[in-house]
Structure 1
């Protein structure tokens, strides 16, 4: 897929990005946007620098997240809360009725 990052066109595929980032250790996500590749969270600027081989000052994290989203990767903003897991049906009904939300059931001894 053709993506434009820092005014330069790049032909990228999801498999190429996966292969390129496979051996790269992710930097800490301290804020801003990040890309989830496999089970790792990479800062968008790190992904852009590795994939394009350009200086991080040449592009924005928004350009990288747009390109990665089009390729099928999940991109998030570190300032936003992570999506919560949906409740079990009984817990959801209890929450909707204003009652206590049941926790996990302990196995009987």
Structure 2
């Protein structure tokens, strides 16, 4: 029996962000960090009833996806939203609408003529 290979979506930046934000806790973390402008890891812990290792896991996932930036300030890790990455994600999610070009009266007539030629 032949084994069918699954087509797998490559982990593009868009897919990585979508996977990271698919978790409701991480999505809410992103919202809290953005609302505050910046938060330390302990500041994030204050907003959630989760253990510090669980918070750390979620922060690492968001950082690996490029959703948040982490900078060290003394002994603290300060988290902020990567606004440029999130804007690019939003643009990929909902690209601008393309304007439709109006057809001239010649185009429908030409299409009708082509279809008549193909009839037996």
* TM-score, scaled relative to structure 1: 0.32
Larger radius of gyration: 2
Structure 2 length as normaliser, TM-score?
A: 0.30
- Indicate the structure with greater helix content: 2
Q: Which protein has the bigger strand share?
A: 1
